[in-house]
Amino acid sequence: MLEIGIPAALLVLLSVGFALWTRARVAAQVAAAAHDLAAGLGHDAELASSLDPDDVTARVLDAAAALPGADAALLILDGRAAAIGLSDQEVERAAHETPPNTNLRSMEVVYRYRLDEVEGSNLPRAALVVPLRTAQGAIGSLSAVTRAKPPAFPPEAADMLEALAQRAGPALRNAQRFVEATELAELDSLTGLANRRVFHELLQREVARSRRYGRRLALIVLDLDDFKRINDRLGHLAGDAVLADVAARIRGCVRSTDIGCRVGGDEFAVILPESTRGDADHLAARIERAVSSEPIAKAGTLKISAGVAELSPDDTSTDLFERADEDLYRTKAAAKQRGRGHAG
């Protein structure tokens, strides 16, 4: 048997070299895996197709749940939780047991249960947690959750989850800002109701939907009585305050399914999906009472007139709006006629 002697110093050198090579290889694998998992979540050019917060959230959760050792994932953003692979009860418990993690790179949380809960169960056992950060600071956390017994994540999982979180934080915040900017562009800045452009787009959409599914649709058009006199007497700033107050009273009357809008000037509208003319008449009366029941700032007690229409089989969105508008002007003309009669 031939024995070859290898100096101890050479053995040490070979061992160190092999360790460094292995570490570099693992690091490269981690980087490649993290890139694949987080593809499209970190660069402005890639975010063009990922500006829906729900879509970005789903992609981040899918990537986290695909990490080695993970069976599920939990994302907490601005205090709100979203998850994949967890029941609603598990999400609630895991979110409650996820500690703030703004200074650490990562942490592992082990879940403890009562004995009667653990028997024969497949409950989440542990979570690897990393913070979600933007340039402005921490905005939440991302967790990879395991149901394994005993719970264990491979060493590279923390690096991969951290790499994912580094891309996910800015992507999620960008998506939120995009939605906020879109909403601002769709809202009337004075009243907070949908603006004129959005009103006509939504009315067209609801008409098409009503036709497709054979559902009812009604529309209310509202107009403040003698609003020009308020502007002339009190000025436009006071007039703006009146419009904002009236809009708040309209919002207080409509259902969650109704769509309140400012069509222009002192004219408002409410779209009522799946509603009849009778439903619209009832809501219009509620709005009229809400506006006239209490004085509005310096303007005093005001009245608002309403016109109502229900979608007919051959109506376009323009037809429906014009019929409601015509009904409004008939209502206003009748009110003026009654006023002249009383004066006489």
DSSP labels for 280-323? HHHHHHHHHHHHHSS-BGGGBS--EEEEEEE--TT--HHHHHHH
Give the pLDDT of residue 119.
67
Cα gap 76→169, rounded to integer Å: 11
Give the pLDDT of residue 127.
92
How would residue 160 be classed by pLDDT, with cut points 50, 70 and 90?
Answer: very high
DSSP letter for 50, please: -
Give the pLDDT of residue 50.
59
For the chain, the average pLDDT equals 82
Give the pLDDT of residue 21.
46
The mean pLDDT of 309-313, rounded to a whole number, is: 95
The mean pLDDT of 217-246, rounded to a whole number, is: 90
Q: Is the pLDDT of residue 6 over 70?
A: no
Q: Find the largest Cα–Cα distance for the chain.
A: 131
Catalytic: 266? yes
Contact 206, 274 (CB under 8 A): no
Q: Which of 188, 223, 266, 325 is catalytic?
A: 266
- Judged on CB neighbours under 10 Å (0-12, 13-18, 19+), 205 is middle
44-58, 71-85, 228-242: least confidently modelled range:
44-58
Give the pLDDT of residue 20.
45
Length of the chain: 344
The mean pLDDT of 311-340, rounded to a whole number, is: 88
Per-residue pLDDT of 95-137, as tens digits, reads: 887 777 666 778 888 888 877 666 667 889 899 999 998 887 8
Q: Is the pLDDT of residue 340 over 70?
A: no
Cα gap 117→241, rounded to integer Å: 58
Which position has the higher pLDDT, 275 or 1? 275
pTM for this prediction: 0.53
Give the pLDDT of residue 230.
84
Give the pLDDT of residue 40.
41
- Judged on CB neighbours under 10 Å (0-12, 13-18, 19+), 251 is middle
The mean pLDDT of 43-64, rounded to a whole number, is: 72
Cα gap 130→117, rounded to integer Å: 27
Residue type, 250: I
In angstroms, the Cα distances linking 165 to 2, 68, 160, 161, 281 are 55, 16, 9, 6, 52
How would residue 11 be classed by pLDDT, with cut points 50, 70 and 90?
Answer: very low
